[in-house]
Structure 1
Amino acid sequence: MDIEPFALERWLAEHEHEAPVNLGDSGVRPLEAARFDTDPGRLGYVIPTNGDPDLRASVADRYDRGADELLFTCGTQEANLLAVLATLERDSHAVCVTPTYQSLHSLPAAVAEVTRVELAAPEWRLDPDDVAEAIRSDTDLVVLNNPNNPTGRIHPQETVDAVYDLAAAADAYLLSDEVYRPLAESDERVEPVASMGPHGLSTCGLSKGWGLPGLRFGWLAGPEEVVTAAWEWKDYTTISPSAFGQHVGRQAIEREDELLAENRAHVRRNRDLLDAFVDEYGLDWHLPAGATGFLTVPEAFESSEDFCRALADEGVVVAPGETFDRPEYVRVGFGADRATLSDGLDRMGRVVEDRRSG
C-alpha cells in the first residue's frame, strides 16, 4: 500500500498549534466533558470488539439495519479506512467524487485504481451522468460525502438515488461519508445511503455534528458481509472502539435531539457572520450545510496558499484550497466559538485590506 501524505493534516500540523485563532478545523466547537458522566469504570477492551450490541442496535436502527450490520470505530476516519479495505482489492477500481476530504480519494487510491468525478464551481452540483461515464466493469466502489467537505454542498435525494442505482447496476457499493449530515436541517437532510439497499454504506461519527472530536467514536453501517470484513480488518488497526468513547458516546446519542439542536443553531448563527464577511469583501461561496465554507480567494492574492500564509502571519489558521486541489479557494471552518470566529474574521479583513492597499 502506497499512501500519499495527507496535505490538510500536514498543513494544520505546521500552523495550528500556536495560532491564536484556528479556523482550520471543520467541526463544531467541542463540548465540555463536564456535561457528561466521564467514568466508564474499568478501562478494558470493549467486548465484543465491534461495540456494545444494544448500542449498535440503537444506532443501526436509523439505517433500518440490525446490530450486526454496524461496526463502531475510532472516529469516522477509521470507518472510511475499513470500508475501503473491505471492498477494494489491487485489481479493483473506484469512482470518487471530488473535491472532498482527502482520505475519501487517497485511501481508495492506495488500494486500487481511482477515477475522479469533479464537482464544478460555483454550484458544486453532482451530475449522475458523470458518475455513469466513470464507472467501469471492474468498479467495486463509488465514494462521495454528503454534505460535502469542503464546499458544504448537499447532494439532493434524487441525485443520490441515481448514483446509488448506478453503483448497484455495476454490482458496486456506494460509500457515503455522512459525518456532516447531523448538522443539516431536517428539510435538507438526505436519506442515509446505508438505508437505501444492499449496495449502500454509510459512515458517521460524533466528531462534527455532536462536537465531540476527542472521543474518536464513529461507525460504519451497511450490509453484513462488508461490516464483517471491516471488523476483521479492525483486528489489525484499533481492535475495539475506545471504552471511554463508547461510554460518553452512548450518553451523547441518548441526548441527540438536545445536542444537535444546540449545535445546528450555533453553526447557523456563525454561518450568517461568515456570509456577511463574504459579502463585504466581494467573495463567492456556496451557502453551506455543515461547518465549512469554501470561499474564493481575494483577488489581491496569487493563490490560496499565498492568502493562507498571510493569514497565518496574522495569527489565523484556515485551510488552503491546494489541500483540496482547488488553489483558487480557501476553506474556512465556522463552527468555532462565536468570539473566536469574530476575531478571526476581523484579522482576515485586515489582511485583505492591507494587501489591497499595499
Structure 2
Amino acid sequence: MDIVEFSIERIQSLYENTVDYNLSDSGVHPYTLRELLDAEQINQLLDVELGYGWTNGGVELRQSISKLYKDKNADNVIVTNGSAEANFVLVMGMLNPGDELVVIVPNYLQIWGWAKALNVKVVEVPLREELGWLPDMDELKDAITPNTKMISYCSPNNPTGSVLPQETLEQIVDLARAQGIYVHADEVYKGSELDGNEGPSIADLYEKGIATNGLSKAMALPGLRVGWLAGPKDVIDRAWHCKDYTSITTSSVSEFAANIVVQPQKRSEILERSRTILNQNVATLDEWIKQNSENYSCQLPQAGGMAFVRYSMNINSTDLVHRMRTERSIMLLPGDCYGMDGYIRIGVGAPSDHLKAGLAQLHEFTRGLND
C-alpha cells in the first residue's frame, strides 16, 4: 500500500518539542487533570479499574455524547482513540476502491490521504479566499458524479478558521440528498466560535450526515485521546466493525474524565475558557498583522486555534518555516502541508505571553530576512 506522508503530523512530531516558541498547534492550551477535576472526581478516578471497556465506548459515555445531538442515542455514537481514529475507521468502513470522495480543501487531510491509499478517487473542491474561505457551490455541484460516495469538509476549518454558515451547510445537504450521498464533517473545532454562536452539526442537519468530534481542539484536552463519530446507526456499526481491528477500546481513565467534561455545564465552562483565550490572542495577532502588513496579511479566523496567514516574501513556505525554526526557535506550519505555498499557519491557542513572545521573534526574523 502506498501511503502519502501525512506532512502536517510529521513536521510537528519532528520539531514542535524542540523549539522555544511552538506556534504550530491548532488547539487551545490544554488543562491539567488538577485544573479539570475537583477533589472528589480525582478521588473517584483513583478507583477506576484499568481493564477493558466496551469496544465501541462505554454505554454511559456514548449516551452522554449522543445528547450533544438531536434525536440520537448511544447506538448513533462510537467512541475512539482521538478524532483521528474516528476518521480512520470511517474511511475503512465506508469507502472502497473505485468510490469517489469529494473533499473541500484546505482540510486536515487525514481522510484525504487515507482514502487515496485505498485507491478511492479523491476530488478536491477549494475554499475560495475571495469568498471568505467558503466554497463556490457551483464548483461543488460540478464535482459530484454518479460514483460520489461522500462529501467531506472541516468546519470550523483547519487551517483558515472559517466557519461554513448554516445556509451553505443546507446547500451542501441539498446537493447530497439529491444524489443519496453521505456528508461527513470534521467538527473538532465546533464550540470555539469566537462570537459564541455554536453552529449546527451535520449529524443534525442530514439523515446521512456523519460528524467527527472529540476533546482535543475546542475542548483543550488532547491528552485524553477521546474522539467519536456520530451518525446513522449503519455507519456507526461499520466503524465499530473496523475498530475491533485497531485499538479495541479507549482508556478507562480517559472515558471517566470524558464523561464528566461532555456534560452540559462542564462543556460550557470549558468552551468559555477556550473562547476567552482565542479572542484575546486573535486580537493580539490582528495587531501584529497590522504592524507587519508589508509582509503578512490574514482573514482573521472565526473559530479554532489557528490563523492562515499569507506572506509576501519570495521563499517557499517549508523553507521559510525551517529557517524560522533554526534561526529563531519558532515553530509554525507551512502552507505546503496543505498544498498551499505562500501561507503559514500560526497557532493562536497558546498562553498569551507565549504567543506575544513568539510573534516578537517572528517580527525580528522577518526584519532580518528583508535586510
Cα distance between partner residues in 2 of 1:327 and 1:210: 30
SS at match of 1:209: coil
Tell me the CA shift for residue 155 of structure 1: 0.9
Contact kept? 1:29, 1:336, Cα under 8 Å: yes
TM-score (norm: length of structure 2): 0.92
Q: Equivalent residue for 2:219?
A: 210
Gapped regions of structure 1 (runs ≥ 5): none
Q: What are the superposed Cα offsets for residues 25-47 of structure 1, whole Å, 9 maximum, x if unpaired?
A: 1100111121222435211111x
Match of 2:116 among 109, 116, 136: 109
Question: Residue 121 of structure 1 is aligned with which of 111, 129, 147?
Answer: 129
- 1:268 matched to 2:276? The reply is no
Correspondence 1:234-313 to 2 at 5 A? 234-254=243-263, 255-282=266-293, 283-288=296-301, 289-297=303-311, 299-313=312-326
> Conserved in 2, the CA contact under 8 Å of 1:98 and 1:118?
yes
- In the alignment, residue 143 of structure 2 is paired with which amino acid? A
CA distance in structure 2 between the partners assigned to 1:185 and 1:20 by the alignment: 27
Residues 194 and 279 of structure 2 are in contact (CA less than 8 Å); yes or no, is this contact kept in structure 1? no
1:31 equivalent to 2:31? Answer yes
Unmatched segments (≥5 aa) in structure 2: none
* TM-score (normalizing by structure 1): 0.96
**Cα distance in 2 for residues equivalent to 1:40 and 1:233:** 31
Paired with 1:197 and 1:164, the residues of 2 have a C-alpha distance of: 6
- Could you say which residue in structure 2 is the equivalent of 1:339? 353
2:90 to 63, 80, 83: 83
1:30-179 to 2 correspondences below 5 Å: 30-35=30-35, 36=37, 37=42, 38-39=45-46, 41-46=48-53, 48-64=54-70, 65-111=72-118, 112-122=120-130, 123-179=132-188
Alpha carbons 2:60, 2:259 under 8 Å: kept: no
Kept in 2, the 8 Å contact 1:21–1:317? The answer is yes
Identity %: 32
Between the aligned partners of 1:307 and 1:188, the Cα distance in structure 2 is 36
1:92-133 Cα shifts (integer Å, max 9, x gaps): 111000111121311222221111001222421212221111
Aligned to 1:352: 366
Query: What is the letter of the counterpart of residue 124 of structure 1?
Result: W
Quote the Cα distance in structure 2 between the aligned partners of 1:164 and 1:3: 31
Give the secondary structure class of the aligned counterpart of 1:248.
Answer: helix
Say which SS state the counterpart of residue 336 (structure 1) adopts: coil
State the SS of the aligned residue for 2:309.
Answer: strand
**Using a 3 Å threshold, how does the CA distance of structure 1 residues 246 and 186 change in structure 2: closer, same or farther?**
farther
Q: Is the 8 A contact 2:317 2:336 kept in 1?
A: yes
Secondary structure (helix, strand or coil) at the match of 1:182 reads coil
Residue 54 of structure 1 aligns to a residue whose secondary structure is helix
For residues 178 and 196 of structure 2, the distance between their equivalents in structure 1, rounded to whole angstroms, comes to 29
Question: Take 2:143 and 2:190, find their aligned partners in 1: how far apart are those partners?
Answer: 26
Q: In the TM superposition, what whole-angstrom CA distance separates every residue of 1:253-293 from its partner, at most 9, and x where no partner exists?
A: 23111111111111110111111111111122121111110
How big is the shift at 1:187? 5.6
**Deviation (angstroms), 1:15:** 1.8
**Cα distance in 1 between the residues matched to 2:362 and 2:195:** 32
Distance 2:111 2:300 in 1: 22
Residues 14, 30 of structure 1: alpha-carbon distance in 2 compared, 3 angstrom cutoff: same
Q: Which amino acid aligns with 2:121?
A: E
**C-alpha distance in structure 2 between counterparts of 1:39 and 1:197, whole Å:** 41
Farther-moved stretch of structure 1 (51-60 vs 93-102) = 51-60
State how many pairs are aligned.
Answer: 355
Secondary structure (helix, strand or coil) at the match of 1:144 reads strand
Superposition deviation, residue 185 in structure 1:
4.4
Instruction: Give the distance between the partners of 2:22 and 2:145, measured in 1 at CA.
Output: 42
The whole-number CA distance in structure 2 between the counterparts of 1:93 and 1:339 is 45
1:168 Cα offset (Å): 1.9
